[in-house]
Amino acid sequence: MESKHWRKVDDLFQAALDCETDRRRAFLDVACAGDAVLRADVESLLASYEQAGKFTAAPALADGLRVLEQAGSEFASDSMLGRHIGPYRIVRAIGSGGMGTVYLAIRADEAFQKQVAIKVVKRGPDTGLIIRRFYSERQMLASLDHPNITRLLDGGTTEDGLPYFIMEHVEGQPIDQYCDAAQLDLKDRLRLFRTVCSAVECAHRSLIIHRDIKPGNVLVTAAGVPKLLDFGIAKLLNPPAEAAARDVTAPAVRLMTPEYASPEQVRGENVTTVSDVYSLGVLLYQLLTGTRPYRLAGNAPAEIERSICDQAPERPSVTAGRVLGRRLRGDLDNIVLMALRKEPQRRYGSVEQFSEDIRRHLDGQPVAARPDTTGYRAAKFIQRNKAWVATAVVFFFTLTGGIAITLWQTHVVRGERDRARLEQAKAARINAFLQEMVGYSGVAGGSPNQKSHDATVADMLDDAAQRVETELADQPEVKAEMLGTIGSTYMTQAKYDLARRYLHEAHTLDLQLYGQDAWQTAGVMHSLGDISYLAGDYAAADSWFLRALPIFRRHANDADFEIRTLLATLSDAAFVKRALGRLDEAEALWREVLTYAPRLPDKYRSQGMAPKTFLAQLYVDRGDIGKADALASEASQELREFGGDRFSLAQSLIDLGNIRRLERRYGEADLLIQEGTDLYAQAQGGDHPNVAFGLTTLAMSRYDQGRYALAEQDARRALKIVEKLPKGHYYAGARLALGLIVNKTGRSHEAEPLLREALAIRREKSPRQSNYVAIALGGLGECLFTQKRYADAEPFLLESYQILTNLHVPQSPVLKEARERLLLLYAAWGKPSQLVR
Amino acid sequence: MGATGQLTHLLEDWSRGDQAAFDQLFPLVYDELRKMARHHMGHERPGHTLQTTALVHEAYLRLVHSDPEGIDTRAHFFAVAAQVMRRVLIDYARGVQRVKRGHGAQKVALEDAALLADDRLEGLVAVDEALTRLATLDPRKSRVFEMRFFGGMSMEQAAGVLKVSPITIMRDWRMAKAWLAREIGVR
């Protein structure tokens, strides 16, 4: 610190400086008064002072700015040069952006020199968060294996605590520059773009959203191979909305490149796979026209948001100029603008659909994309018909989530089957009919009013159904397919009567055309089984599957998709058995699925593995937690390794979490459930019912741990999501969880109506002899017990216990709890126990 | 809250003595400086340092213009900027030196070295080290020098941040200059 000497030197130095130069010596003679050391000190400072100007005349500020502007512009960057990260030595910066700098590095300790790219993230308030997220996701990112995706090799933190990611190094040009340099024609550009799409599709199957697709992230090698960079990195760097909301100090800057960001990204809303569809749309626009769809008005966030969210993009054919424009007009205009729709739900439902539409254009087939002006309802319908069948089924009807998976897979499989089975001409006729139908704008009495679009879609479906009758009368094969499609679409709209009617018509026609043992006939029978199941008519569902299954089994020797159809049917049939309470038969069907699994190619392996999750559920139904855990662990591990389909993985994680909860391994339970829920949210949006399912499970885990405040938050969030839906299982589950929590925290009168409603729904939707009903009964019984209404509580607790006794294995923790509850009741009530001890 | 708004709030917190705010300020100010550098340095030729400084000051002013208590906030912005600049320059200089000392395999980064003359780089590193020593001897003098030299701040601005009179700042600056020059052996 400031010593006495220092202060004295300072004072003398200042005073001497204030003297006229020629009087300094005299001043020091007096002031230092024989202290030679002091005098020498002050004099040397005075001498240095005269020289100091040489150095300080040029403020370092200007140097700093020059370094910032020219030298790769990262203060971290230059300090990294020459350093070692793991076995790699940093050679030079090869790029920099908002999030950090990318370096070229080589592996120095080997005979051959391996080059990698290392992205070092710059320091920020959320540095720690990035590192934590990276460790939680690294396995999934590292599992991304696709020839057009650069691999993430490793990651960690530098000695300064900055996060870094080590990636495969790609020598290449940004795709837009490559296309121009290689003078690719329109068709080649489209083909190259489809390759990029295939890489994005692969990542989406593993639930990884890119979030920052732009030319700079799509490099094309000299051999013409496109490579996507930075998959999953954007997510690591952008906290999920929820985390950002908690941390108000996080910078408001979102790190994506605004020119390619979707409206939902700019607004900071949920980012899903469809956001990548949008960014790909901007990229395609640029590849086709040489410019981006709109100019940003300025740099201010509000201006960027306005440009992206409000400004309608010009049609590519108009932007491209007259010559090229002629070739873009029509299909390509429609395709690009469909990907660029502002509302995510009006875009292509997946990258696959986007890419497929380009393929159709390349092959001279009619495309699905329609102009937006007449196309609102049309697009809506197409999406319901195609995307809906694939995804919306998941939305509405889920018993456990499991049925949703198989339904979803079934429809995907069916789409492929259609393509493969129908010869080209027939497919084209169906396509043309569909397009004509959905392009039909003269819906009687209906104005194209967005608010009533659901009614309009229903009108259009009805209209389509009528036209099938009249216009396809002479093309029975096409008519049968269309009737089946219409029936399935009604099914997704919960119009069970209509769905059943058209499926029956399709079935009748199938019988005439193909006979009762044909593959085509079995397909519709499967749909009839599904519709009966969804409508709660389990007996009818069972009989449909009983008839369809032998046919599918016979065909299962042929090709992949036929095996996969069989597996989907077996699995759905198992759900029906389970709903009927015939758990052994359900188990046998799922076991059969597992025997086929090894015959599936890797790409579809997850479908063969999903039954492990369902079987695990079945063991949970029986309270056989040990067996359930073994299967569920296996299932989720395999799904992770194979990068399997996302719904299955999310579901299996939540299921495993629930099992760990029952085993009282709460730490693991919470992590698993959270991860599964995040996956669902990422893929389907934060307000999807599957997210509610995850939150409800999380709430139950926290309830078991006695963390009631947290539990209540989760349950209320779940309830908020499901309240908008028809009152089904998710709704009942969320009410039940909240009821239990509220009851435990001294509000049992508030809890009672919640629990009664949950029980009523479960009684209606599930067989009497089921876990679901038993648990709801137990919940209500406990609530009445808390209110000391022992006589009222007794019948509920007894019934719950009796069901569980029939259903569960003796060592079941759920059974044990029900028994204890009952014993407690009798002890409190002072009534002799009704239980056989 | 926009980025500028957030910056202003953090600067206010920091000027009220909240040290945690500084850690958040650092990256934000860094970003602002980089933006300014991009805007103003693009066409600048070496040697026009005074003009550059003026431009940056003008940009600072715009940044915190709307703030009614702007004078104080602005000064604090400069103070952070000074520390950012010091770090940027020193990291840069050390990086260049490391590459030069490297095993000869990578000369690639050397072209960057032309950005600043070698003796200037050495001088900056020496100043940085000496300044750190000065901070233990007389922290305020060390800060005054940092603000003036690395941040281009005026005496009045430094006085605003350190809450002392401009005369004191002037005296600190003189002493710091002399002491540093002696330490690093400027001749």
In this prediction, residue A781 carries a pLDDT of 96
More confident residue, B124 or A267: B124
Residue A714: both structure tokens together? 């989760």
In this prediction, residue A582 carries a pLDDT of 85
Q: Do A65 and B150 touch (CB under 8 A)?
A: no
**Residues of A305-332 as b/e, b for ≥16 C-beta within 10 angstroms?**
bebbeeeebbbbbebbeeebbeebeebb
Q: Do B150 and A72 touch (CB under 8 A)?
A: no
Q: Rounded mean pLDDT of A798-819?
A: 91
The three-class DSSP label of residue A88 is strand
**Cβ-based contacts of A61 with chain B (< 8 Å):** 52-53, 56, 81-82, 85, 149-152
Q: Is A79 on the interface with B (CB under 8 A)?
A: yes
CA distances from B163 to A128, B25, B71, B140 (A): 34, 20, 13, 11
In this prediction, residue A645 carries a pLDDT of 64
Interface test with A, best of B175, B180, B187 (most A CBs within 10 A): B175
A612 class by beta-carbon count within 10 Å (0-12 exposed, 13-18 middle, 19+ buried): buried
More confident residue, A815 or A499: A815
> Is 0.85 exceeded by the ipTM?
no
Q: Rounded mean pLDDT of A486-497?
A: 70
Asked whether the predicted pLDDT for residue A753 surpasses 90, the reply is yes
Closest CA to A739 of A711, A767, A768, A705: A711
Query: How far apart are alpha carbons A378 and B2 in whole angstroms?
Result: 40
Question: pLDDT > 90: what percent of chain A?
Answer: 24
Closest CA to A127 of B86, B27, B83: B27
Q: Is B134 on the interface with A (CB under 8 A)?
A: no
The nearest CA of chain A is from the CA of B177 a distance in Å of 6
- Note the residue count of chain B: 187
Q: Is A8 on the interface with B (CB under 8 A)?
A: no
Residue with tokens 């139908």: A437
Taking the alpha carbons at both ends of chain B, their separation in whole angstroms is 51
**Cβ-based contacts of A237 with chain B (< 8 Å):** none
In this prediction, residue A644 carries a pLDDT of 58
Which chain A residue lies closest to B107 (C-alpha atoms)?
A91
Confidence of residue A205 (pLDDT cuts 50, 70, 90): confident
CB A60 within 8 A of CB B86: yes
Listed by number, the residues of chain B in 112-131 with a beta carbon closer than 8 Å to a beta carbon of chain A are 112, 115-116, 120, 123-124, 127
Q: Rounded mean pLDDT of A773-800?
A: 94
Q: How do strand A163-168 and strand A173-174 relate by DSSP bridges?
A: unpaired
Q: Which of B81, B175, B186 has the CB atom closest to A54's CB atom?
A: B186
Q: Is A112 on the interface with B (CB under 8 A)?
A: no
Asked whether the predicted pLDDT for residue A405 surpasses 60, the reply is no
Give the model confidence (pLDDT) of A648-667 as tens digits. 788 889 999 999 999 999 88
**Residues of A717-742 as b/e, b for ≥16 C-beta within 10 angstroms?**
bbbebbeeeebbbbbbbbbbbbbbbb
CB A777 within 8 A of CB A797: yes
CB A514 within 8 A of CB A481: no
Q: Which of B42, B150, B186 has the CB atom closest to A48's CB atom?
A: B186
Residue A250: both structure tokens together? 């996080």
CB A540 within 8 A of CB A504: no
Give the model confidence (pLDDT) of A565-589 as tens digits. 788 888 889 988 887 878 889 999 9
Question: pLDDT > 70: what percent of chain A?
Answer: 75
Listed by number, the residues of chain B in 74-93 with a beta carbon closer than 8 Å to a beta carbon of chain A are 81-82, 84-89, 91-92
**Cβ-based contacts of B56 with chain A (< 8 Å):** 61, 65
**Cβ-based contacts of B137 with chain A (< 8 Å):** 1-3, 6
Q: Do B178 and A2 touch (CB under 8 A)?
A: no
Closest CA to A82 of A63, A64, A100, A106: A106
Query: How far apart are alpha carbons A700 and A488 in whole angstroms?
Result: 35
Closest CA to A146 of A227, A217, A54, A207: A227
Taking the alpha carbons at both ends of chain A, their separation in whole angstroms is 80
In this prediction, residue B4 carries a pLDDT of 61
Q: Where are the alpha helices (DSSP H) in A157-185?
A: 175-181
Beta bridge partners of A220: A173, A226
Give the model confidence (pLDDT) of A49-88 as tens digits. 888 877 777 667 777 777 776 644 444 445 566 678 878 8
**Cβ-based contacts of B96 with chain A (< 8 Å):** 78, 81
Q: Which of A47, A68, A82 has the CB atom closest to B34's CB atom?
A: A68
Closest CA to A368 of A466, A417, A443, A436: A436
Q: Is B14 on the interface with A (CB under 8 A)?
A: no
Confidence of residue A377 (pLDDT cuts 50, 70, 90): very low
In this prediction, residue A24 carries a pLDDT of 87
Give the model confidence (pLDDT) of A142-157 as tens digits. 777 788 988 888 877 7
Asked whether the predicted pLDDT for residue A477 surpasses 80, the reply is no
Query: How far apart are alpha carbons A148 and A201 in whole angstroms?
Result: 11
**Cβ-based contacts of B33 with chain A (< 8 Å):** 64-65, 68
Residue pLDDT tens, chain B, 187 long: 455 667 777 777 777 777 667 766 776 777 777 766 666 554 444 444 445 555 555 555 555 444 445 556 667 777 888 888 888 788 777 766 665 654 333 333 333 445 667 777 888 888 998 998 998 889 999 999 998 888 878 888 889 888 899 899 999 999 999 999 998 876 5
A226 phi/psi in degrees, rounded to 5 = -75, 145
Asked whether the predicted pLDDT for residue A739 surpasses 70, the reply is yes
In this prediction, residue A195 carries a pLDDT of 94
Q: Rounded mean pLDDT of A267-271?
A: 76
Give the model confidence (pLDDT) of A694-737 as tens digits. 999 999 999 999 999 999 999 999 999 888 777 777 889 999 99
In this prediction, residue A424 carries a pLDDT of 39
Query: How far apart are alpha carbons A454 and A489 in whole angstroms?
Result: 13
Chains A–B, number of C-beta pairs less than 8 Å apart: 194
Average pLDDT, chain A: 77
In this prediction, residue B29 carries a pLDDT of 75
Q: Is A135 on the interface with B (CB under 8 A)?
A: no
In this prediction, residue B156 carries a pLDDT of 85
Q: Is A13 on the interface with B (CB under 8 A)?
A: yes
**Cβ-based contacts of B174 with chain A (< 8 Å):** 13-14, 17, 49
Query: How far apart are alpha carbons A575 and A546 in whole angstroms?
Result: 13
Q: Is A6 on the interface with B (CB under 8 A)?
A: yes
Q: What DSSP string describes B117-183?
A: -HHHHHHHHHHHHHHHHHHHH-HHHHHHHIIIIIT---HHHHHHHHTS-HHHHHHHHHHHHHHHHHH
CB A611 within 8 A of CB A633: no
* Domain of B28, in residue numbers: 3-184
CB A374 within 8 A of CB A441: yes
More confident residue, B80 or A672: A672
H-run or E-run covering B76: helix B70-101
In this prediction, residue A454 carries a pLDDT of 37
Which chain B residue lies closest to A72 (C-alpha atoms)?
B112
In this prediction, residue A773 carries a pLDDT of 92
Residue A274 carries which side chain, given as an amino acid letter?
Answer: V
Q: Rounded mean pLDDT of A776-804?
A: 94
Q: Do A251 and B6 touch (CB under 8 A)?
A: yes
Q: Is A110 on the interface with B (CB under 8 A)?
A: no
In this prediction, residue A82 carries a pLDDT of 67
Q: Is B45 on the interface with A (CB under 8 A)?
A: no
Q: Do B181 and A51 touch (CB under 8 A)?
A: yes
Q: Is B148 on the interface with A (CB under 8 A)?
A: yes
In this prediction, residue B112 carries a pLDDT of 40
Give the model confidence (pLDDT) of A313-328 as tens digits. 888 888 877 777 778 8
Domain count, chain B: 1
CB A776 within 8 A of CB A805: no
Query: How far apart are alpha carbons A579 and A537 in whole angstroms?
Result: 10
Q: Do A54 and B38 touch (CB under 8 A)?
A: no
Give the angle B30-B32-B37 at the CA atoms, nearest 5°: 95
Asked whether the predicted pLDDT for residue A375 surpasses 90, the reply is no
Q: Rounded mean pLDDT of A555-571?
A: 73
Q: Do A75 and B92 touch (CB under 8 A)?
A: yes
Q: Is B182 on the interface with A (CB under 8 A)?
A: yes
Residue with tokens 């399709």: A506
Asked whether the predicted pLDDT for residue A372 surpasses 70, the reply is no
Closest CA to A653 of A665, A640, A642, A667: A640
